[in-house]
Structure formats: C-alpha cells, structure tokens
Amino acid sequence: MYSWITSLQGRLTLGFALVLALSIASVSVYSAYATRIETERFTEEIELARAGRAEQLVRDTFEANQDWNEVQYAIQQVGNLYGWRVVLEDESGLIVADSHQVVRDAQGLFETLSERFARPTRFTRRPVYVNSQLIGHLLVDERPARNERPLSMRDFFTSSLEQFFVDQTSGQLAPPRPTQIPVQAPSQTTSDLVAEVLEYVDPPLSNLQSSFQRSLLIAGIASGLAGLLIVTIFTRQALAPIRGLTAAASRLGTGDLSQRVPESGSDDIGELAITFNAMASDLEVARERSRQLTADVAHELRTPLTNIQGYLEAIKDGVVDADGETIETLHSQTIHLANLVEDLRIVAIADAGALALSKSFDSPVRVIKDAVLNFAQRARERSIDLSITKTDTVPIIEFDETRLRQIVTNLIENALIHTPKDGRVTVDISGSSNGMVMSVSDTGAGISIDDLPRIFDQFYRADPSRNRVTGGAGLGLTIVKRLVEAHGGTVSVASSPGDGTTFTVALPGRESFPRQKSACL
C-alpha cells in the first residue's frame, strides 16, 4: 500500500482526489454561505413588504372607518397571518390596538408602551400617516415569545374605544373617548381591506432560486479555477523529476554522456532515475570501449602492415633480396593480419547476434582431444605437461564442431602463453545429463582480482607489457565467450596471483553414455 501511495500514479490519484474534495467542500461552504445571506435578504425583503402592507392596512382601515375597533380587528388579522406581535400607539403614546392582548387594562384604561411591555425596544417603529397627518406608530415584533398568542375572533368584542372624529373647524383629530356601543363584527370595508392583504402573494421563490443557482455557478467556476491551479502546482512538482530526465535525455542524445539525474526515493520516478543513470553509465563505458577498440584495431593492423610495407619497399629499393626467408616473413605477417581480421569479424558477428552455428548431437571428447593434440609438440618444446582427463560418463551435447575446436584452441593457446617452462596445463572434461563441463587449468602467474572482471573484454591484456607476438591481439578470450554464449553455455574464470588460472566452460547436453578414461598426452 505504501509503495502505491509513493508511486507517481498514487500521488497523482491522491492529488486529484484532494482537488476534487476541496472543490466540493468549497462549493458546499460557499453555497451554504450564499444561501444563508440570500435567505436573510429575502426574508428581510418579505418582512419589509409585510410591514408595509400592515401599515397600509392600518392607514386604510382608519381612514375608511375612523374607528380604533376596526383597526384592532385589522391588527389581529395581521398578527394571525404573519405570526407577529403588532401594536398601534397613538400620537399621545397610548396603546390603542394590540394583536395579542386586549388594549384596556383591568381598570378600563389605556396603557403606555413601557407600562405594557418590560422590553419596549423589541419592537420596530413605523409612523402611520393619514392625509399627511401622523395618527400614531405601528410597532412590530417579528419574533414574539412562544407563550404570546394572537387574539382570536372571540376576543373581538365590545371595545371601550370611541371613534376618532374630525373637528370640522380646526381640522385636527380629537383623542379617543370611551363609548358603550358594542361592536360584534368588523365592517364590510374593513373585511374587504383585510381580504386584500390575505390575497397578496409574497415575492416568489424564483428569486431565491435564481440567487442560489447564481451562487452555485460562481462557486463552481471559482472551485474549478482553484482546482486547476492546485492541480497545476501539484503536477508541476510531481513531474519536475520527469522534466529533469527529459532535459538530461536531450543532452544525452547530443552526445553528452556525462549526464546524470538525482536519484531520490524508491517510487517509479526514482527507479526511472536509477535506470537512466545506469544507461548513461553503460553508454559512456560503451563509447569509451568503442574508442579504445578503434585505437586497438588500428594499432593491431598497423604493425603487420608496417612490416609488410617495410619489406616490400626494401625489396623494391634492392636493400633486401626477395629470397625464401623474406617471403616467409611476409607470409607470416600476412597470416597474422588475416587471423586478426577474421577474429574481428567473428566478434562483430557474435555481437550482432548473427553468428550461424552448424550444430549436431555428438560427444565433444574427440573434438577437444584433436584440438589439444595440435599443441602437443609446442608443449614438449617448452617442457610443459599438457594432459586431458575426463570422467567415465561423457554427455552428448549439441555443438558446432568448428566453433568448439576454436574455443579449445583459444583456451589452450592462452594457457601455454602464460605457463612458464616445466609448467602444467590440464584439460578436464566432466558432466552429466545436464551438460558438459570443460576446464582448462594452468600453473602460470595467475590474474589479479582487478583484472578478472575485464578478462573477456576485447583487446584487453592482463599484462600490458606483453607484445602481440607473445600475447596475441587480445581477442582470443573474447571470441571464447561469444562462441560459448552462442551455444547457450557459460564460461567463467578463477585465478589468484601465483596460483595459476582455470577457465571453465559449461555447455548444455542431451544424454550421456559410458566412455573409457584417456591417458595423458
């Protein structure tokens, strides 16, 4: 799980999930906030409209009837319709109408606002004018206490208020006076005015819906932009190593093989960086080897060609006679040059994977023995003990006889070169049904630990002081490795300074059959 989280896919997935969650959360928060603001504004708008209608109802009722009882009925209806506590205060400060309570106290007297209510500030005040003359103030509490209930029609009975009357001479409204005239029902005019208020429809919810949709659209666009910004920042940071790899790969493609990228973390990008650095190192080593190979090939070819050219020019100038010895020297240099070119050809074909083998199933003992016997005279001349040993069971393997002979020849050649006089070279053949194992051991000076990893490289010599006459061109072991691998086998080397060297070749086999042991050569 942790490896998936730290991978590029996991980080991008989590990043997009985080952006999505933040976008949804921001949309939700903004929508809730905008909805609350719009709801409050819409509620305030409705309440203002209702308060205006209530004021209009009181004004029209009083103007039509000139009777506070009719106004009391209208205010009761407003309180029942809107759930408000509505109070009318005349210009002298007395409460002449109340939607929730009879206007007169137990003594039949009007009360002031402070006498009736412990907290008069709970009301909002709106002046009421009739014909541009103030008749009082409409007091509204939009959120009354739960224990406050509006008066019902049963509570609309006789009132001790007397109608206001107009002083015809002065044109001023007179204060109310008690009356004993009972009023059982509102007038038709008051009923019609109240009906108009009841029929009035509050502002439609489409306005609120439009505001909410507009808020959602704004929040969605803002969240999208914020999410895009977050994703851009996140992906830019997550893909920064990729851009570094791209830049390094571009410079690598131009030939700058020294390019390396930081190796950080164990995620996909970290593994990619490690792989890129390994590839760059391999390319750098390959280019260096290619340069060295070119130099080595030029050096190896130049020496015999220079010798041939020198002899031919000497013969042409009459300095040297074209006798048998001179011709033999030219011939040997030509053979050496031809062998070098052939070795290079074999290595090139093997490296390209195009080395064709003519394989057949047989015992390799005969081929190995014939190849070793070719060196018997040379070994005797240097007093080197050259021998072959093998087990009773010799496997049958599929091999190319010519290439196997070349493998053995190169290994024996290498062993004789490094084995001093009175030394020993041993070829051991063993195996089972799984394959054949052949080892070539010598009692030479051995190979240092530093040289072992490169012993099969082209033109590599463990002893740089050896010349090409005694040490060859440095392609023999390279050819051995390529030919063994072409057979599907492996070759290894074990050596330490002063203890000699052993090369071991393992080739896959098919079956085995009994053989007799061979004696030393």
User: Domain locations in the chain?
Assistant: 63-200, 268-351, 359-514
Sign for the pseudo-dihedral over CA of 473, 476, 477, 478: positive
Helix H or strand E encompassing 429: strand 424-432
pLDDT tens column, 200-253: 655 555 566 666 667 777 777 777 777 777 777 777 776 777 778 888 888 888
Which of 163-167, 342-346, 399-403 has the least mean pLDDT?
A: 163-167
Average pLDDT in the 250-279 region?
A: 79
Q: Confirm or reject CATH 3.20.20.70 for domain 268-351, answering yes or no.
A: no
Tokens of 385: 């003990």
What is the model's pLDDT at position 213?
67
What is the model's pLDDT at position 352?
75
What is the model's pLDDT at position 517?
44
pLDDT bracket for residue 501 (50, 70, 90): very high
What is the model's pLDDT at position 164?
37
pLDDT bracket for residue 423 (50, 70, 90): very high
197 compared with 169, residue with greater pLDDT: 197
The segment with the largest mean pLDDT, out of 171-185, 260-274, 391-405, is: 391-405
What is the model's pLDDT at position 442?
93
Q: How far apart are CA 225 and CA 239, in angstroms?
A: 20
Residue 292 confidence (pLDDT) above 60:
yes
pLDDT tens column, 306-354: 888 888 888 888 888 888 888 888 888 888 788 778 877 887 887 777 7
Residue 460 confidence (pLDDT) above 80:
no
pLDDT bracket for residue 408 (50, 70, 90): very high
Q: Are the beta carbons of 476 and 384 closer than 8 angstroms?
A: no
Tokens of 156: 């609309």
The share of the chain scoring above pLDDT 70, in percent, equals 80
Superfamily of 359-514 according to CATH: Histidine kinase-like ATPase, C-terminal domain (3.30.565.10)
Sign for the pseudo-dihedral over CA of 263, 268, 271, 275: negative
Mean pLDDT of the chain: 78
500 compared with 233, residue with greater pLDDT: 500
Average pLDDT in the 126-148 region?
A: 88
Q: How far apart are CA 512 and CA 393, in angstroms?
A: 6
What is the model's pLDDT at position 182?
42
